[in-house]
Chain A
Amino acid sequence: LAKSCPGQETVTLYLRGVALRGRRPRPAPPSTSPPPASTSHPIKQEDNLTETRLVSHSQITRLYSRFTSLDKGENGTLSREDFQRIPELAINPLGDRIINAFFPEGEDQVNFRGFMRILAHFRPIEDNEKKSVAVSEPLNSRTNKLLFAFRLYDLDRDDKISREELLQVLRMMVGVNISDDQLGSIADRTIQEADTNGDNSISFNEFIKVLEKVDVEQKMSIRFLH
């Protein structure tokens, strides 16, 4: 990420251009050739973006226009407030958690690259990716998807879901008709289901293990529009 910081402005500019072009009525098919403005400079940037594995140009274009429309401060980054302005997130029980997931530890701004990096977790796994032996694990692999989900619980980032952390999420998820006592018992039981080493918390490995039957690849994938 740090490597990309100097070139960030160019990315933005470049993408702004693409975004403008993308807004024209011309429908963008999924796998078009690189846009005509492909000098060597933007292609390099584009490679960087492809690393986030949202390959298609039209997708990047569309998401960039979304990014800029969210970016009310027009400074090329999104703040928490920008996210919180999305009305639907206010009524999503996990809205704030998910907003948090966009921000790396200790930062309160996210640039387009970081934005895409998070969204890339939700790209479906494609057939050719399953077979190809990638050097680094792609962001949309099963493990990374699960890690993302795990981080939603794990607020203090100690790689464990403690009872309190679980209880917080449960409180957001269930209705008000469930009393605190009942919720506490639910949390206990949930931990009990997953906890294998008896430390009264769920580690990431335990998390993977207990969800191994769940079709995470499908349940944590979105078909991004073009």
Chain B
Amino acid sequence: PLPPSESTPNQSHADHGHGSSAVGGIPVVTFKWHHVETPYQVALWILVAGLAKLVIEANHHVTNVIPESALLICFGFILGGIIWGADKVQTFKLNPTVFFFYLLPQIILDTGYSMPNKLFFGNMGAILVYAVIGTCWNAASLGLSLWGCHQGGAMGDLDIGLLQYLLFGSLIAAVDPVAVIAVFEQVHVNEVLFILVFGESLLNDGVTVVLFNVFDAFVSLGGARINAVEIIKGIISFFVVAFGGSLLGLVFGLLISLLTKVTQKVKIIEPAFVFVLGYLSYLTAEMLSLSSILSITFCGVSCQKYINANMAESSVSTVRYVMKVFANGSETIIFVFLGISAIDTEIWVWNTGFILLTLFFIFVYRIIGVFFLTWILNRYRLVPVEFIDQVIMSYGGLRGAVAYGLATLLNESKIKEKNLMICTTLLVVYFTVILQGITMKPLVNWLKVKKAAVSELTLIEKLQSKVFDHMLVAIEDISGQIGHNYMRDKWNQFEERWMTRILMKKSVRKSRDCVFKVFHQLNLKDAMSYVAEGERRGSLEFVRNESAFIDFKKKFVDDCSGAMPDITACMSDDYSAIRIDQVPSVSLEMHEQNMKGVRETEDINTHHLLQQHLYKGRKQHRHRYSRSHFNVNKDENEVQEIFQRTMRNRLESFKSAKMGVSPPKKISKHTKKDQQQKVPNGKSTENGKRYFSGDEGCMIGNVCIPLTPFPLGPAGIENPAYIPDLDPMAAEIPPWLAEYDAGPVAPSQRAQLRLPWTPSDLGRLAPLRISTRSNDSFAQADAPAAQQKDDEPPTPSKRDGRNM
């Protein structure tokens, strides 16, 4: 009896094949369907569901109108019909064990992991009110109303008591996260509305399961034996189950965070820990009869920050993708099976009164509940939930697979009308997912619901939002009230002081700063778009050289890690010197005169350049990810280097701009050229350096950093004097190949030259920033090195050139 696990069908297939072939004598070929039946079917179902999704996604004009979830259910209808036609009996349906153990956890873990935490906890109060009070209200009002109508004789002869009605109410009360995500992801409503609906759907799942269990216990107990004590016990168990589950999830989340702190040695299986422990949190909660959904939700919520910081970048993206794969796959299978489950004569017990009244009450009580609770909440909310948003919230009360799963869990011996309840639940699910799902988008458009703003990543916004945070806290302190911001500030401090210290790797903790992170990301984007631009141009000249440059630098850095920043500083100094070589015909005076004009045209150029390639996300990613699969460190270093270099270059250009001094060295340029000719292989690299710094300097520092020292930077590319330098053979070699042979040769001279001076570099870096004078110290520090090497220019001339 193999468990119907999704991940191992092929493996178990192979195992069985081996085992039985040894037993069965010497048959050449045997057909052993039964050995593989279960895993085979599971694998086939996954395949079918995946293909269904593929087909549906391919028809974009259809998914624009009808949400995917509705289409998948319809596909399930068709599939179920075919199976029914073949078998004349319902072979497959959504089994609660499979659903709750294998399909649901992944979806919930994914939602917890990708939860926008600030938004979620910022609206926690409202979400809890909707999830707890709203759900209880829905369950109670529906159960009581149905019971009332039953007593009034609206449903004919049904064997359902008050408790059973309440049980039914509790199972169908909850808004379903799977259905809500599926529908709301396609309509981009504003984030507050989204988090309210979504958070409610997540948390009320826990609530509804708890309610269901409590009422189930009541039903088993029988009406007569329920007294006040039992009811109080029920209420207590409600809180224990809900909070216990959440707490357990938190514990597991912290456990994952702690574990990822020490897993850098096993990068390959690092992501697996997240999944396994997440799943274990679900199972543990189930074992302790706590709320497993809440448990896995909070597990994801609490660990996301730390594991994203602790794990290697590739592991983080692995976790992210695999989560999505699992969640999306499960979601697809769930919807397909919801459709298939309908094709079963057994469950279709029609009772017009019961079904229609259920539909009606669900709809009406949802509206009443939302509006009433919002009315109360709005008295305490800083930004009230608007009327239109309330309409969408009440309309977004989609029911889904959790309700169906719970309905199939009903005990037929105690609830005679189980099939009617399943049938009604299914109808409610179809009604809400298909009809409300389809009409949601037009409704959102028609009501002009505030949509989510697509915001670009900018430094100033990040900085400003931090400023806002601090400002609000300060104002709350001054006005002497303990408000939302005060609490959040206190929590942040606590988190910073304890949690982060314990749960985050030390190295990560140090380099963590949100403004800086945005800066880093922007730089990465620039660097990647720079590469993409080179590929687009086709010549690949400067890309090739850039890669060579990177390689060169990496090798160099590996040799003397630790002193890297200083060395890079020196190197960028050198490059700025080299770059001037490109335009020997232009005199310094001309530089200064034309500076403004040139800068403006540069700005236009670079703006254009940036704009053009910032959109090419795909290419960037391909470039970036193609290498990251196996050699993680390499990629990371590379990225780090691009970043480091960018910053050094900017600093350089800024420094020169601020001092108003161009550091061209007319004498040194000749020597540099000599040098290049001496080392033919290194030439391309040197070119690259020039190209690179010229282009990049203006590209990134386009507007605000006047490119004083290299006003003709971009001209280097079109500069005809330059083109003969290009090696036609090398140009055809892709960068990743070219870098190899160019790399080792080029750095040798300069790099080795610089090395012994690293400690003094450190010392002179500081004064360098402060005044022009410091150039002297720089040059003097260089002097001995220069003398060691024959073709280096004499020191005084160098200094003169700089200070001119």
Contact = CB atoms under 8 A, between A and B. Distances in A.
Nearest to A30: B379
Contacts, number: 166
A68 B383 CA distance: 30
Contact of B459 (A180, A181, A186): A186
A182 B516 contact: yes
Contacts of A195: 703-704
A175 B519 CA distance: 14
Contact of A225 (B465, B481, B515, B603): B481
A86 B475 CA distance: 11
A92 B472 contact: no
Contacts of A98: 470-471, 474-475, 478
Interface in B164-205: none
Given A92-B470, A189-B519, A218-B382, A177 B511 contact: yes
Given A173-B467, A181-B647, A200-B704, A189 B475 contact: no
B479 A214 contact: no
Contacts of B591: none
Contacts of B706: 200
A222 B513 CA distance: 26
A46 interface: no
Contacts of A194: 460
A213 interface: yes
Contacts of B382: 124, 218, 221-223
A5 interface: no
A121 to B, nearest CB: 8
Nearest to B652: A181
Contacts of A15: none
Given A188-B654, A188-B701, A193 B459 contact: yes
A190 B461 CA distance: 9
Q: Which of B467, B483, B706 gathers most chain A CB within 10 Å?
A: B467
Contacts of A190: 459-460, 463
Nearest to B522: A189
Contacts of A192: 701-705
A178 interface: yes
A174 to B, nearest CB: 5
Q: Which of B478, B489, B702 gathers most chain A CB within 10 Å?
A: B478
A193 B460 contact: yes
B481 A89 contact: no
Contacts of A63: 479
Given A185-B647, A188-B705, A88 B466 contact: no
B603 A198 contact: yes
A191 interface: yes
Nearest to A87: B477
Contacts of B384: 127
B464 interface: yes
Nearest to B600: A198
A212 to B, nearest CB: 10
B453 interface: yes
B463 A214 contact: no
Contacts of A94: 467, 470-471, 474
A122 interface: yes
A216 B468 CA distance: 9
Given A66-B480, A93-B470, A149-B467, A218 B383 contact: yes
Contacts of B461: 210-211, 213-214
Interface in B473-496: 473-481, 483-486, 489, 493
Nearest to A199: B704
Interface string A96-107: 001000100000
A175 B515 CA distance: 10
B603 A149 contact: no
A223 B460 contact: no
Given A152-B467, A178-B516, A210 B474 contact: no
A142 B477 CA distance: 22
Nearest to A122: B475
A184 interface: yes
Contacts of A28: none
Given A186-B515, A190-B459, A119 B705 contact: no
A124 B705 CA distance: 39
A225 B647 CA distance: 46
A69 interface: yes
Interface in B685-718: 700-706
A189 B703 CA distance: 9
A68 to B, nearest CB: 11
A185 B471 contact: no
B594 interface: no
Contacts of B459: 186, 189-190, 193
B515 A173 contact: yes
Given A66-B479, A88-B477, A223-B483, A186 B516 contact: yes
Nearest to B470: A94
Contact of A177 (B470, B483, B513, B654): B513
A222 B475 contact: yes
A58 to B, nearest CB: 12
A69 B479 CA distance: 11
A122 B463 CA distance: 19
Contacts of B704: 163, 188-189, 191-192, 195, 198, 200
A24 interface: no
Contacts of A174: 513, 515-516
A95 interface: yes
A92 to B, nearest CB: 5
Contacts of A191: 703-704
Q: Which of A184, A186, A193, A216 gathers most chain B CB within 10 Å?
A: A186
A147 interface: no
B764 interface: no
Given A180-B769, A181-B651, A222-B485, 16 more contacts: A86-B477, A95-B474, A98-B474, A102-B478, A127-B384, A149-B471, A173-B463, A175-B513, A178-B513, A181-B648, A182-B519, A189-B700, A193-B460, A198-B600, A220-B472, A225-B483
Kindly list the 10 A-B residue pairs having the minimum CB-CB distance in the complex, ordered from nearest.
Answer: A66-B480, A88-B477, A192-B704, A98-B474, A94-B470, A190-B459, A219-B468, A185-B650, A223-B382, A191-B704
20 contacts: A66-B480, A89-B477, A119-B475, A119-B479, A149-B468, A177-B510, A181-B647, A182-B516, A182-B647, A184-B650, A184-B651, A185-B519, A186-B516, A189-B519, A190-B459, A192-B703, A210-B458, A218-B382, A218-B383, A224-B479
